[in-house]
Amino acid sequence: MATENEENGADMQSESEESAYCLARQKLESLLNKNMRIRMTDGRTLVGLFLCTDRDCNVILGSAQEFLKSTDSFSQGEPRVLGLAMIPGHHVVSIEVESESLVNSSQGM
């Protein structure tokens, strides 16, 4: 009997873990292929499609463009086309997405 209880307890615990995991995955999946803007530690900003990430928050952007330090307006300076770019997690300062993509994704859910 005791062992059964223990098993149940473990199940309960893993269930809550699982749901947190599922939620996180869902949240991240809803962002896939959305436009994303990432500031890096050296002040540059990359804009591109969110394609892939992992536990260390390494992010891969597709069709990425590089903007120099001016973060607010894009009119300053032409962007540089990078294509497929991976930003190591420890160099990610901030992550932004377009508000409409958030609305769209919540509607989808």
Residue owning tokens 């536990």: 55
Q: Which residues pair with 38 in a beta bridge?
A: 46, 95
* Residue closer to other proteins, measured from CB, 12 or 23: 23
Which residue from 10, 27, 70, 104 is in contact with other proteins, where contact means CB under 8 A?
27
Asked if 14 interacts with other proteins (CB under 8 A), we say no
Cβ count near 64 (within 10 Å): 22
Binding site for other proteins (CB under 8 A): 20-21, 23-25, 27-29, 31-33, 35, 37, 40-44, 46-47, 49, 51-57, 60, 62-63, 65-66, 68-69, 73-74, 78, 80-89, 91-100, 102
